[in-house]
Structure 1
Amino acid sequence: MITFFEYNWQVRDEWFEWSSNLTREYLVEKRVGGVESILYTLFHIVEVESSWIRGIQGKEEILIEFKHYNELEKVKKLSDTYRKEIINFLKSSLYESSNALITVPWDEDSYSKEDILHHIIAHEIHYIGQLSIWAREIGLKPISTSFIERERRGINHF
């Protein structure tokens, strides 16, 4: 499971770098599909990941509003900040109580920790695919999503 978090973070960082070459207009332009824009999609990936991890940990929900993170550098910093917390969680308690049911404030159903972690991973992969489509629509080469062709850095690198 840690390997897929590492993979997602590496690809996400490459999308942040890729996005830094775009004008603000391109970053915030409302697009068909997905969750609005390139910038909001990157924000959404970070917000969902951090919310679900906090839910697993039984921590209080923190409402992260896009209006406070409506610049690429702010979203990148948010990603880096939460990543540090998530790494500590993954290193310390990834496999503890993996089948215990967890409830979160924004959902009435309960889920296992393992299912939530799989959801977080799949969620990001889905939205990375959306970014790839938008990249092609504006005539740019998307970030490679190949898992087997990339040199993974390992959790201690992040």
Structure 2
Amino acid sequence: MYTFFQYNWQVRDEWFTWCEQLAKEELLKERIGGHHNILHTLLHIIDVEYSWVRAMQQKEDIPLDFSSYGEVHQVRELSHQCRDEIKGFLQSNEAISNERVTAPWMEGSFTRHEILHHIIAHEIHHIGQLSIWARELNLKPVSANVIFRGLF
């Protein structure tokens, strides 16, 4: 499962690089679908990943103030800061248990196994949205190919 987190992180980093070609106005332009714009969709991906991992660790959620992140480099830095914390947890035996977890923003409980799969699928879903927006801008999207990434 850790391999697919690595895959998502590689693809996310490539999207950050891809975003550097766009003007700030284009990154924040209101769009249909996703989380309303390119930059906030990337932030949303990070927020969901980080929030769920913190919930699995029984740590308090730290909501993001999206208005504080208006530049690609700020979102990239946040992604790397959160990733550093997440990596240690994902590589521990604690992450793979089937312990049930509750999150303050949602009713019910879920196994860690379910949550990890949700995090992976959630990011892949939104990367698809970014790919559609890239095509609408007549730009080539980041490759979603798992092969040739050196992960296996």
SS in 2 for 1:32: coil
Q: CA deviation at 1:90?
A: 1.1
Q: Measured at CA, do residues 53 and 106 of structure 1 come closer, stay the same or move farther in structure 2, by a change above 3 Å?
A: same
Q: What percent of counterpart residues are identical?
A: 54
Aligned counterpart, 1:112:
111
- Distance in 2, Cα, partners of 1:30 & 1:95: 36
Contact in 1 for aligned 2:30/2:36 (Cα 8 Å): yes
In the alignment, structure 1 residue 68 sits paired with structure 2 residue 47 = no
- Distance in 2, Cα, partners of 1:71 & 1:37: 13
- List 4+ stretches of structure 1 deviating above 4 A: none
Aligned counterpart, 1:57:
57
Aligned counterpart, 1:134:
133
- Distance in 2, Cα, partners of 1:142 & 1:9: 16
- Distance in 2, Cα, partners of 1:2 & 1:94: 13
Aligned counterpart, 2:88:
88
Q: Which amino acid aligns with 1:116?
A: I
SS in 1 for 2:101: strand
- Distance in 1, Cα, partners of 2:95 & 2:100: 14
Runs (5+) with no aligned partner, structure 2: none
- Distance in 1, Cα, partners of 2:70 & 2:60: 24
Q: What's the C-alpha RMSD, in Å, of the aligned pairs? A: 1.3
Q: CA deviation at 1:86?
A: 0.5
Aligned counterpart, 1:3:
3
Q: Which amino acid aligns with 1:111?
A: F
Matches within 5 A, 1:5-24: 5-24=5-24
Aligned counterpart, 1:36:
36
- Distance in 2, Cα, partners of 1:130 & 1:94: 32
Runs (5+) with no aligned partner, structure 1: none
Contact in 1 for aligned 2:89/2:95 (Cα 8 Å): no
TM-score, structure 1 normalization: 0.92
Q: CA deviation at 1:91?
A: 1.6
In the alignment, structure 1 residue 150 sits paired with structure 2 residue 149 = yes
Q: CA deviation at 1:68?
A: 1.5
- Distance in 2, Cα, partners of 1:128 & 1:108: 26
Q: CA deviation at 1:150?
A: 2.5
Q: CA deviation at 1:69?
A: 1.7
- Distance in 2, Cα, partners of 1:69 & 1:95: 29
